[in-house]
Amino acid sequence: MASTCVVQEQSHDANTITLQTLPPSECSRIDSSETSHDGFAALEKWNQPRINAYRSFATFWSFLVMGANDAAYGVSGTFRENVLESRNNLFKWDFAYTIVSLVFLSPLVGYVLAAFLNNRIHTSLGQRGPALIGPGCHLLAYIVNCVHPPYPVLVISFIFAGFGNGLEDAAWNAWIGNMAHSNELLGLLHGLYGVGAVLSPLIATSMIVHADMPWYYFYYVMVGCAAIELIVCGTCFWKATGAIFRQARADTGGDSKKGGLKTALFTRPSARVTWLCALFLLGYVGVEVALGGWIVTFMIRVRNGGAFASGMTATGFWLGITVGRILLGFVTPRVGEKLAIAAYILLSIAFGLILWLVPQFYASAVAVSLQGFFLGPLFPGVVVMIAKLLPRHLHVSSIGFAAAFGGSGAAILPFAVGALAQAKGVQVLQPFIIALSGAIFLMWLGLPRVSKEQRNE
């Protein structure tokens, strides 16, 4: 029996996109990789063509590894804080908060490189490039950490982890963001990031506190995860070459020059959307990773919690992120991205105030989990907004830059929290988070509105 197909229509001013469902008789005139002269292009589904099902699984696993990577900084960093031994155990260093925070700052170099190389890698190698380079960088970084190197080498290794995260963050967000039902799919994709971020502190805290293992033993687990990531992504995206990517861009009305980063950043109206979303994600990811990374120290030092119980608050926060992304991913498209995301930010600020002003351990633990719940859908919501507001041939460049640029917030802002904590104490965490949340709320209000679209199964 013939089925309908979902297509998108781009307006001439590139500010809005509307979705339509065509009858079976009309579906034959389009292909999932073609654009007709009247401006219609078919949206792929997660399971059509069939290879997409395997590729979707690969991207989900990549985001799980990325989440585990980012959440591990906080827990392992807390237990590296007072004493970190060199490989031969002859040297010991006492670390201030600022020095510990270098593990948050060093991935910035990798994220910046990813932001500027993403479009070139896609054009030359296609999706095969990020599928091989990203996991390869993860694997290299984790192997170095397993060797228990001196602290400066550890900091350098996270540059490679940051580069891998930046490439894959950009590539998989752009790919999933161009599919039918992108809100729900991006919610699941980023939900897997949250799953990794939930499991990472749980496993690391159990190994370090209960099993009395050195902090770097956790990275043996990460080596195994990265090896699986490399095999799965490399296999599933092996045929997604640069030639296929260039042809797909040409089919959707772009070319290697007009679809580049320069157009996305400096040509109206694309520039407004790209820069606002990039700055929004820089602030948002900074909030997410700073809160997830420093909440353990906050609960130990300010709320006087035990090491294990405080470590579990990080798990609660990332669990909130995960559940929020999955559940609210189905709510957001029904309410509308502009209104829904604004409401989520305000609710996260409200629970942030409770965490800050109510000096009780369990109240703080619940508040930070609910704060994570409402922060969860923000990243997927931004990716969907970019996909709707910009023409399709700019999606890889714009989403890639915004995601990679935003990812640098995972380096800069947790480092800033560490510097402030060194000067004023770790109790500065919540005022810092609330101020950043207010800033991204104002940036969100500056984005153009999206017209209502009708979605049919």
Distant-in-sequence, close-in-space partners of 92: CB < 8 Å, separation ≥ 6: 83, 84, 85, 86
3-state secondary structure of 227: helix
- Residue with the bigger pLDDT between 358 and 11: it is 358
Residue 136: φ, ψ to 5°: -60, -40
* pLDDT on residue 254: 56
Q: What is the average pLDDT across 377-388?
A: 90
Q: How far apart are CA 115 and CA 333, in angstroms?
A: 28
Average pLDDT, the chain: 80
Q: Which fold has domain 51-445?
A: Growth Hormone; Chain: A; (1.20.1250)
Peptide bond between residue 49 and the one before it cis (omega within 30 degrees of 0): yes
- 100: pLDDT confidence band, cut at 50, 70 and 90? low
* pLDDT on residue 15: 41
Distant-in-sequence, close-in-space partners of 67: CB < 8 Å, separation ≥ 6: 192, 193, 194, 195, 196, 197, 198, 200, 318
Residue 17: φ, ψ to 5°: -135, 135
* pLDDT on residue 354: 94
Distant-in-sequence, close-in-space partners of 188: CB < 8 Å, separation ≥ 6: 60, 325, 326, 329
CB 178 within 8 A of CB 152: no
* pLDDT on residue 5: 47
* pLDDT on residue 87: 30
For 450, which DSSP code? -
Q: What is the average pLDDT across 269-289?
A: 90
% of the chain exceeding 70 in pLDDT:
80
- 404: pLDDT confidence band, cut at 50, 70 and 90? confident
pLDDT tens figures, 259-278: 567 778 888 878 899 999 99
Domain ranges for the chain, please list them: 5-42, 51-445
pLDDT tens figures, 174-185: 899 888 888 889
Residue 337 has pLDDT above 70, yes or no: yes
Residue 433 has pLDDT above 70, yes or no: yes
**Residue 351 identity (one-letter amino acid):** F
* pLDDT on residue 89: 32
40-42: strand order across its sheet: 17-22, 5-10, 40-42
Q: How far apart are CA 310 and CA 230, in angstroms?
A: 33
Alpha-carbon distance values, 243 to 26, 123, 289, 336 (Å): 28, 8, 36, 36
Best CA proximity match to 8, nearest among 44, 52, 48: 44
DSSP output for 403-442: HHHHHTHHHHHHHHHHHHHHHH-GGGHHHHHHHHHHHHHH
DSSP output for 133-181: HHHHHHHHHHHHHHT---HHHHHHHHHHHHHHHHHHHHHHHHHHHTSTT
- 349: pLDDT confidence band, cut at 50, 70 and 90? very high
Q: What is the average pLDDT across 205-218?
A: 83
Least confident stretch, 70-74, 97-101, 140-144, 225-229:
97-101
Least confident stretch, 8-22, 162-176, 297-311:
8-22
* pLDDT on residue 38: 34
Positive/negative CA dihedral, 278, 280, 281, 283: positive
- 227: pLDDT confidence band, cut at 50, 70 and 90? very high
Residue 14 has pLDDT above 80, yes or no: no
* pLDDT on residue 346: 97
What are the structure tokens assigned to 10, written together?
């781009």
Q: What is the average pLDDT across 111-123?
A: 85
**Residue 310 identity (one-letter amino acid):** S
* pLDDT on residue 228: 97
Q: How far apart are CA 53 and CA 316, in angstroms?
A: 30
Q: How far apart are CA 404 and CA 409, in angstroms?
A: 9
* pLDDT on residue 74: 55
Q: What is the CA 140 to chain-centroid distance, rounded?
A: 20
Per residue, what are the HEC states of 8-28? EEECCCCCCEEEEEECHHHHC
Q: Locate all alpha helices (DSSP H) within 38-150, ordered by sequence.
A: 51-80, 97-100, 102-105, 107-125, 128-146
Q: How far apart are CA 279 and CA 290, in angstroms?
A: 16
- 82: pLDDT confidence band, cut at 50, 70 and 90? very low
Positive/negative CA dihedral, 44, 48, 51, 57: positive
CB 95 within 8 A of CB 223: no
Best CA proximity match to 173, nearest among 439, 391, 382, 410: 382
Residue 256 has pLDDT above 60, yes or no: no
* pLDDT on residue 426: 81
* pLDDT on residue 314: 84
- 252: pLDDT confidence band, cut at 50, 70 and 90? low
Least confident stretch, 28-42, 183-197, 238-252, 259-273:
28-42
